[in-house]
Chain A
């Protein structure tokens, strides 16, 4: 029995979910998120402050002796499910998971404490599309300072500290004030990417970049599956709700068998994704079987989240095509997520090695 992963939610995890959902209902309603995407501040730092400072959720993965909550990936996954359901524009995955894991790998306890309390936001300066174990761009370390340009860095626009890999193999902490961050026009309006330019910035060496980045991207990929689950869960639930209400041909549209079957298929996919995402979170928490569990979850999750968002758009008809309706936020996030931390294909290629089903 002990070798089986725990795929359920504990009572505490359900309570955490309810609290996060309440908070997001107050802070991240859809019209507000849509309006914000076109402002100078697409990120919702007020919601972030409430999550990080108010609820202490930024420090879930950080041990208590270093200023965190000493919780596990299981709880962080529940937070990400809810953030996905709300397409909340907050740097949780990037700062509280990915940057935090990189700092944990380097024993950078002072920075960990800063990120854990939410006083500062961190971002790993590796392009969002890089898969676990994949090659990533580095900057030049020359004459004691850092030089170069890194693109596709998620949530860099709100980061206070960037974790920058350099060509000497080191990972450096660089203050955001010391670099130029230029937002890129991004497909995903709620998790925009940016270019980070370093012109002789000074940085503090934290440790070896390779193992830190690998660990960070493994956790990022694994917990992304829970965000994707949240996206898929919301789009399915909202579409079912709408199709019970929407009437054409003098009956609810949701009563047509062609649509019922599509929604039932989608429900099956979401049920499967829940098991895969819980398995990945549990494996990261226990450290057992994490590589396979994460690769399986990521090989499966992207198509479900994208399918759910695409079905939601189609089944909402014309209203789904409007800027006013939030379904496009979910579609854009789901599509960007299908690239984030490696495509499904990249994770299948990893599995081919992990489970010995090798290419021709």
Chain B
């Protein structure tokens, strides 16, 4: 079952049986999942058909053509892009059956409890403790930069289960119920004025052992699947020519000739070219993935994306002149979505500063490229064989 024509007719049959006009949105989405048309590359019974990932576009086009409801994927980016592939790879059969369906339909939104105040680039040094108690675990600690924690039903969580082991070895991966009374979410206000992120305090949070993902002590390896998918998700969005951050500044340039200067023109053209080349690199990466020969380009996509967004939005503020002195609104808000391009130029400029920090700083990603792609010697690792509890803090 891998053929585009077959998928098309399967989708049409599905639509005939569940007419979007007369079917409740949630019923439609649940039925779509059960029909294997949610993410066709997932296995049968888990929302997919074991088909090539590239054929999802066939299904989406058919559904879009008749205006069928979708799962509003932007509301659950972490769930769909990071939690789901990790659960699929490491989850037990029960876990996959329990979590993937409501995750995909958006009934249950997910967030990510990874970073801590003392564990940023050195994530593996994290100190949130999970202690075995009876048939479950008791978790204490503090997490930070948690996008969407205030809207989430579940979290993917990594915590330290063995402080006597070296830092990478003593971590375990859990699925954490955000409604547990020990979970406290506090908004963390950012330079944009908004609180898109949160601090999450975990106090005696009880997690049953059935919510452990992967083996005890194997959390670091499990987390790699999550993190690799995160970088693809941040840098790998498919755009049309002049899509993304370059779009509003190009539009302003065309519509407001009185703002133009020669110096800004040179910078705009250079950035327009850089944006187009980055788009082509992303397209080339996708073509490699479809052919099943993933290249190392993925590691670089986010690096380029961050620099471009920052430079383009910086240019846009300057182009606007007097208007660039203004800012739409500093009111503290808690947005539903992570949005890099929305609102005004000042917001874009400030928000894009996070692009070179979130999901791995640009400095760490350059190390990753140098070591894993170019094969250059690794940074000295003085903490490799030291028990976590003995590390300098």
A residues apposed to B, CB below 8 Å:
1, 4-8, 240, 243-244, 251-252, 254-255, 257, 260-261, 263-265, 267-268, 271-276, 278-279, 296, 299-300, 345, 348-349, 351-352, 355-360
Contact = CB atoms under 8 A, between A and B. Distances in A.
A127 B277 CA distance: 28
Given A257-B367, A268-B303, A360-B262, A7 B250 contact: no
A359 B254 CA distance: 10
Contacts of A257: 367, 379
A251 B380 CA distance: 11
Given A271-B300, A360-B257, A263 B273 contact: no
A275 B281 contact: yes
Given A257-B367, A264-B367, 6 more contacts: A254-B376, A260-B370, A268-B304, A271-B297, A359-B262, A360-B260
B284 interface: yes
A81 B274 CA distance: 21
Interface in B273-289: 273-274, 276-278, 280-281, 283-284, 287-288
B2 to A, nearest CB: 16
B265 interface: yes
Given A240-B375, A257-B379, A264-B374, A296 B367 contact: no
B261 interface: yes
Contacts of B257: 358, 360
B277 A357 contact: no
B288 A260 contact: no
A251 B269 contact: no
B377 A252 contact: yes
15 contacts: A5-B280, A8-B291, A244-B376, A255-B378, A257-B367, A257-B379, A260-B367, A265-B366, A267-B369, A268-B300, A268-B303, A272-B278, A275-B280, A300-B273, A348-B273
A309 to B, nearest CB: 18
Interface centre among B268, B273, B367 (most CB of A within 10 A): B273
A300 B376 contact: no
Nearest to A349: B269
B239 interface: no
B242 interface: yes
Interface residues of B, number: 44
Contact of A272 (B242, B253, B254, B277): B277
B366 A261 contact: yes
Given A264-B370, A300-B277, A356-B254, A272 B304 contact: yes
A267 B376 CA distance: 12
Given A260-B367, A300-B277, A357 B269 contact: yes
B144 to A, nearest CB: 26
B389 to A, nearest CB: 28
Interface string B33-60: 0000000000000000000000001000
Contacts of B253: 357
Closest CB pairs A-B (n = 7): A255-B377, A260-B370, A360-B260, A275-B280, A264-B369, A7-B284, A348-B269
Contact of B377 (A244, A271, A296): A244
A124 B11 CA distance: 57
B303 A278 contact: no
A278 B285 CA distance: 13
Contacts of A272: 277-278, 280-281, 304
Nearest to B281: A275
B98 interface: no
Contacts of B277: 272-273, 275-276, 296, 300
B337 interface: no
B82 to A, nearest CB: 24
Contacts of A263: 370, 374, 376
Nearest to B257: A360
A359 B281 contact: no
Contact of B283 (A4, A252, A299, A358): A4
Nearest to B259: A360
B367 A357 contact: no
Contact of A261 (B262, B265, B363): B363
A276 B283 CA distance: 11
A348 B266 contact: yes
A356 B287 CA distance: 29
Contacts of B377: 244, 251-252, 254-255
A268 to B, nearest CB: 4
